[in-house]
Amino acid sequence: MSTITANKTTDFGHNGIFPSNEVMLDLKNLKKVYPTPKGDYVVLEDLNLQIKKEEFVTIIGHSGCGKTTMLSMIAGLNEISGGNISVLGKYIKGPGPDRGVIFQAPSLMPWMTSLQNVLLGVNQVFPHATKNQRNDIAKYYLQKVGLENAFHKKASDLSQGMQQRVGIARAFAIKPKVLLLDEPFGMLDSLTRGELQDILIEIWNKEKITAVMITHDVDEAIFLADRVVMMTSGPKAKIGDILNIDFERPRTRKSVLEHDDYYTYRKHLIDFLEH
Ligand SMILES: Nc1ncnc2c1ncn2[C@@H]1O[C@H](COP(=O)(O)OP(=O)(O)OP(=O)(O)O)[C@@H](O)[C@H]1O
């Protein structure tokens, strides 16, 4: 039986917890202030987090604590008010192809086909590849998400689950170093959700990229993650606690549910959220 290793990140200090050559993503003393009519609102303050290469990290925390704010800052879509974020030791200065994003709603171009939607990113990131090569990349990832029969279907004709599959294919097809996922399965029924979790893990495992995913679902957080990061409630939210999930991979839902530590992990996360 493995043991629970829950580390308080407040003990980590600012020099990091992992050797620098193992770190993919480094958030140092991160701060975010939103100006509001009532004055400045400090959402995040002194937030420190390191994420290792090829790690799958899930983020949980109360609604409104600042999870999306943090993720959008990593994506380079939201300005940093203080501190810094680096990818492989380089400070980020805006969005870039090294970071792919999957949102809750995939925001596809509704009049374009699945293939055309995936090609939008591929064409930008691989401008020197031939048209055939770019088509092959886009089709490869569409096949991976089970859309081999829907290359030429318009996005507006696809179900929500299929649209999210296109969103996943689109994000992987630009071959990012880091994949950022903001509640990607939040709007889906549980069966589709399970299927897409399996697809996500399969491609993540094959591509060896780093994944950071926000979820409100404690079971999803445990099933997918190497570590579950818990954010404190705002204002001035930071990392409150981190839980290492020591289950072997590949995992099945059954093996996870039957594991001796499953309910201990679950209780740890629920206790954190309830206090
Ligand atoms: N552009 C903005 N201007 C002012 N306040 C904002 C802005 N964006 C977000 N906020 C506020 O910042 C806080 C954090 O929002 P954020 O969306 O990051 O939280 P969250 O943890 O992702 O929430 P949820 O789990 O509900 O998605 C909230 O109080 C929100 O109202």
Distance CA 124, CA 207 (A): 20
192 C-alpha to center of ligand 1: Å? Answer: 27
pLDDT recorded at residue 216: 96
For 36-52, the pLDDT digits (tens) are 999 999 999 999 999 99
Q: Which residues contact 268 (CB under 8 A, 6 or more apart)?
A: 4, 6, 243
pLDDT in tens, 59-92: 999 999 999 999 999 999 999 999 999 999 999 9
Task: Please state, in angstroms and rounded to a whole number, the distance separating the CA atoms of residues 196 and 224.
Answer: 11
Q: How far apart are the first and last CA of the chain?
A: 28
pLDDT score, position 36 = 95
Question: Ligand 1 centroid vs 253 CA: distance in angstroms?
Answer: 32
The 3-state DSSP class for residue 217 equals: coil
Residue nearest to atom 23 of ligand 1 (CA): 64
Q: Does residue 29 fall inside a structural domain?
A: no
Residue 177 lies in a domain: yes
Question: Is the distance from CB of 9 to CB of 49 less than 8 angstroms?
Answer: yes
* Residue 185 domain-assigned (yes or no): yes
Ligand 1 mean position to 250 CA, how many Å?
A: 34
Question: Ligand 1: which atom is nearest the Cα of residue 69?
Answer: 18
Q: Which residues line ligand 1 (CB under 6 A)?
A: 34, 36, 41, 43, 61, 63-69, 234
Beta pairing partners, 52 = 23
Tell me what the mean pLDDT of segment 82-103 comes to.
96
In a domain, 257, yes or no: yes
Q: Which of 31, 60, 69 to mutate to test the pocket of ligand 1 (most atoms within 8 A of CB)?
A: 69
Number of neighbours of residue 197 by Cβ within 10 angstroms: 20
State the average pLDDT over residues 248-268.
95
Please indicate, yes or no, if residue 122 is contained in any of the structural domains: yes
Asked if residue 225 lies in contact with residue 57, where contact means CB atoms within 8 angstroms, the answer is yes
Distance from residue 212's CA to the centre of ligand 1 (Å): 18
Q: Model confidence over 161-187: pLDDT tens digits?
A: 999 999 999 999 999 999 999 999 998
Give the separation between CA 245 and CA 250, rounded to whole angstroms. 13
Biggest CA pair distance of the chain:
55
Residue 37 belongs to some domain of the structure: no
- The three-point CA angle 52-56-59 to 5° equals 100
Residue 228 near residue 219, CB atoms below 8 Å: no
In this predicted structure, the answer to whether residue 95 has a pLDDT above a threshold of 80 is yes
Look at residue 217 and tell me if it is in a domain. yes
The CATH number of residue 72's host domain is 3.40.50.300
How many domains does the structure of the chain reveal?
A: 1
Q: What pLDDT does 7 receive?
A: 43
103 CA from centroid of ligand 1 (Å): 15
Please report the atom of ligand 1 found closest to the CA of residue 32.
12
Q: What confidence tier does 17 reach under pLDDT thresholds 50, 70, 90?
A: confident
Phi and psi angles of residue 96, each rounded to the nearest 5 degrees, phi first: -160, 160
With a cut of 0.90, is the ipTM above it?
yes
Give residue 45's Cα distance to chain centre: 21
| Dist. CA 185–CA 107, nearest whole Å | 14
What pLDDT is stored for residue 1 in this prediction? 38
Residues 53, 210: contact at Cβ < 8 Å? yes
Q: How far apart are CA 64 and CA 55, in angstroms?
A: 25
DSSP character at residue 216: S
Atom 20 in ligand 1: which residue has the minimum CA distance? 64
Please list the residues that pair with 50 across neighbouring strands.
26
Q: For residue 126, with 0-12 CB atoms within 10 Å meaning exposed, 13-18 middle and 19 or more buried, which class applies?
A: middle
For residue range 122-140, what is the model confidence (pLDDT) as tens digits?
A: 999 999 999 999 999 999 9
Residue 275: which pLDDT band, with cuts at 50, 70 and 90?
Answer: confident
What's the predicted TM-score (pTM) here?
0.93
Q: What percent of the chain has pLDDT over 70?
A: 94
- Rounded to whole angstroms, how far apart are CA atoms 165 and 167? 5
Which residue segment(s) compose the domain that 250 sits in? 52-82+90-232+239-274
